[in-house]
Chain A
Amino acid sequence: MSSNSSITKSDLIEALAKKQSHLAFKDVELAVKGMLEKMSRELSSGERIEIRGFGSFSLHFRPARLGRNPKSGDAVALRGKHVPHFKPGKELRERVNAINEQNKPDSD
């Protein structure tokens, strides 16, 4: 499919440091890392994250199942576990898809 370019955490820190020029670069770095740590911590304690206009993160439960060791083919009992799930918010969905909205033939 599409081979996108990508933005990394350090690109993001640089962009934010430019925008928030009253903050020291080091503080921007700490703030970004602090935010991601806070979000990870909340999620892994079972808490949802709800960012209006961006989206929400929650946990989905994967029930226990019988898996297989790919090498030996032996059945292995796997315990149920939680996995992180992200649902994009309305604004993010619309902005990301704007490229298609522009050349829509007819919208109702």
Chain B
Amino acid sequence: MALTKAAIAEMLFEELGLNKREAKEFVEEFFEQVRQALEEGNDVKLSGFGNFILRNKSERPGRNPKTGEEIPISARRVVTFRPGQKLKARVEAYAGSQQQ
């Protein structure tokens, strides 16, 4: 099962002794702070984990995949994630189902 906010809060409760309400609030506030920083135009760099980087994309031609009709994709600001060295190394070691 995927890791959710609830499971992260549970970990803060069990391992750090925050009470359940504090833990839930903390997790919510953590992600809100990251969203806010990005919204205000800041990159967010979490060493050991990775960097959330803003990119400005200019308008480009697109297509409605259903009708094939051409519609421009408007200029926009997007977030990308660049995993840090440490996280990349840990994930690389994962021998999942797709590897033979």
Q: B-contacting residues of A (Cβ < 8 Å)?
A: 1-2, 4-9, 12, 15-16, 19-20, 22-23, 27, 30-32, 34-36, 38-57, 59, 61, 79-86, 88, 91-93, 95-100, 104
* Chain B residues within 8 Å of A, Cβ to Cβ: 1-5, 8, 11-12, 15-16, 18, 22, 25-27, 29-31, 33-35, 37-39, 41-56, 74-81, 83, 86-88, 90-94, 96, 98-99
The answer to whether A48 and B3 have CB atoms under 8 Å apart is: yes
Instruction: Give me 10 A-to-B residue pairs in the complex whose CB atoms sit less than 8 angstroms apart, sorted by A's number.
Output: A4-B41, A16-B30, A16-B33, A19-B29, A23-B18, A34-B11, A34-B12, A44-B91, A54-B34, A59-B91
Give every chain B residue within 8 A of A104 (Cβ-Cβ).
Answer: 74
Given A36-B48, A100-B76, 5 new contacts (CB under 8 A): A1-B56, A7-B42, A12-B33, A35-B11, A84-B87
Whole-angstrom CA separation of A24 from B54 in the bound complex: 32
- Which residues of A sit under 8 angstroms from B87, Cβ to Cβ? 40, 43-44, 84
In the complex, A99→B50 CA distance in Å?
A: 25
